[in-house]
Chains A and B, each alone.
Chain A
Amino acid sequence: MDGRRFLCVFRRAPHTDAVLREHLDLTLTLAAFEQAVELLFLDDGVYALLPDRQSLPEGPPSPAQLLAALPFYGLEQPPLVERESLLERGLDGEKLLPARHIGRHEVAALLGDADVVLSL
């Protein structure tokens, strides 16, 4: 472990293309190699925190399923989500996957304090 801190920023809606899922794969790979990783959901990425209504037996794992696997990769801290992104999309009252809500002004510090920012 080289002490670098990764911030993985998720900004794409989960079901329009494979970008968000691929980015989650990348994040889990970093975690599997014991890198310090934080997850941050912004803008349309916050839709990924909506739980699955129904699990489908076929196909690749959903973002919700991948997020549920985070603790098995040593990521004990819940992902971060920007409060304003939820408000702008009317999701503030929705039941979401476990996440720590932060304000937009706090995002600046997270970006600045990370050694590597991977934003997709």
Chain B
Amino acid sequence: MATLHLVFHPPRGPGVPAWFGRLRTGDAVFLLGDALHGIRENGPWRSLVPPAEGTRFYALKDDLLRRGIAAPDGLNPVDDAGFVALAVEYRTSVTWS
């Protein structure tokens, strides 16, 4: 079964974040709030998107707009309804804050 990973924290250093090592094929990552600083133009997480085949990345459109961050290829912007749909689609979710 696939897991929805909800990431709330901004990068804490230049390396690959711990949650990235805990993904498997089919999982999805939702970057929320200040987690989006990770995918700024030179952000340390920018190169993780798109990641290994089978992992999808999402963010809220409003979170992107608020921070003036353009979604890189591989990141799917969704609205609130899209977020709810993902929460229903994935049986389990886990929060990394």
Q: How large is the interface on A (under 10, 10 to 19, 20 to 34, 35 or more residues)?
A: 10 to 19
Which of A43, A111, A117, A119: most chain B CB closer than 10 A?
Answer: A111
Binary interface profile of A, 60-100, with partner B (CB < 8 Å = 1, else 0)?
Answer: 00000000000000000000000011001000000000000
Query: B23 contacts A108, CB within 8 Å?
Result: yes
A42 to B5, CA, bound (A): 15
Q: How large is the interface on B (under 10, 10 to 19, 20 to 34, 35 or more residues)?
A: 10 to 19
Q: Contacts A112-B1, A112-B27: A104 and B22 contacting too (C-beta < 8 A)?
A: yes
A115 to B3, CA, bound (A): 10
Which residues of B63-93 are within 8 A (CB) of A? 91-93
A114 within 8 Å of B (CB atoms): yes
Residues from chain B with a CB closer than 8 A to the CB of A109 are 24
Query: B27 contacts A108, CB within 8 Å?
Result: yes
A107 to B92, CA, bound (A): 14
Which residues of B13-59 are within 8 A (CB) of A? 18, 21-24, 26-27
Q: Contacts A84-B21, A104-B22, A108-B27: A119 and B95 contacting too (C-beta < 8 A)?
A: yes
Q: Contacts A112-B27, A115-B92, A117-B92: A42 and B18 contacting too (C-beta < 8 A)?
A: yes
Q: Which residue of B lies closest to A110 (CB)?
A: B22
Query: A111 contacts B22, CB within 8 Å?
Result: yes
CB-contact partner of B92 in A43, A85, A88, A112, under 8 A: A112
A104 to B15, CA, bound (A): 15
Query: B18 contacts A111, CB within 8 Å?
Result: no
Residues from chain A with a CB closer than 8 A to the CB of B3 are 108, 111-112, 117
Residues from chain A with a CB closer than 8 A to the CB of B91 are 115
Query: B92 contacts A104, CB within 8 Å?
Result: no
Q: Which residue of B lies closest to A43 (CB)?
A: B18
Query: A9 contacts B92, CB within 8 Å?
Result: no
CB-contact partner of B24 in A84, A88, A112, under 8 A: A112
A113 within 8 Å of B (CB atoms): yes
Query: B24 contacts A108, CB within 8 Å?
Result: yes
A53 within 8 Å of B (CB atoms): no
